[in-house]
Amino acid sequence: MVISQKTKRRHMEEAVSKLGSTQLVHQGKYLGFPLVIGRSKKQVFNFIKDRLEGRIKGWKRKLLSAIGKEVVLKSVAIAFPTYGMFVFKLPKGLSKDICRVMGKF
């Protein structure tokens, strides 16, 4: 359950005690994605591009043919941000950045 920061402390404690749950102060993550998203979506989801860049840099470009590169990109790199795109509407700028990173490979 997510409770607004503007909620009075006694109301929050009452809800937590009635539900028999514990209170978490920090925002958690599920499959690497934050459970609560603020106003700056690009800043929140920028880790997708960073992780994708890191993964691509680890691959040996010279050892793969053009078809090999395409297969690797389609099977690994495209599958990487799929969950995020399924659940959230990613910013257009981030989508362009991901395509740019994949195009450089």
Residue 24 burial (CB < 10 Å; 0-12/13-18/19+)?
exposed
> Taking 70 as the threshold, does the pLDDT of residue 24 lie above it?
no
Q: What is the pLDDT of residues 33-92, one digit of tens each?
A: 777 677 777 777 788 788 888 887 777 767 778 888 888 877 777 776 677 777 777 778
User: Residues 41-53: pLDDT tens digits?
Assistant: 777 778 878 888 8
Reduced to 3 states (helix: H, G, I; strand: E, B; else coil), residue 37 is: coil
Note the pLDDT of residue 60: 72
Q: What is the pLDDT of residue 46?
A: 80
**Which residue from 105, 7, 96, 15 is spatially nearest to 48, judged by alpha carbons?**
96
**pLDDT at residue 55 in the model:** 80
Question: What pLDDT, on the 0 to 100 scale, is given for residue 33?
Answer: 73
Residue 72 confidence (pLDDT): 80
pTM score, two decimals? 0.55
